[in-house]
Amino acid sequence: MPYVNIKVTDEGVTKEQKIQLIAGVTRLLQDVLGKDPATTVVVIDEVNTDNWGIHGQQVTELRKRSKPAGP
């Protein structure tokens, strides 16, 4: 029974995109490893950007700095 855990930041991933991720990962495991889709579990965790760090920095702060300056 394969178990796949996908972690993404909580920045607007839509229900439709989640459906595509679950179906795509399930298909991939079936195609590549011959795993039964009926026993394949896919979990998507959405992580707040305050709780996600890259290069020693909080993603929330990185996003603030990368936004273009307004008029």
For the annotated catalytic residues, the residue numbers are 2
Q: Cα–Cα distance between 7 and 13 in angstroms, integer?
A: 11
Amino acid at 6: I
- 46, 10 Cβ separation under 8 angstroms: yes
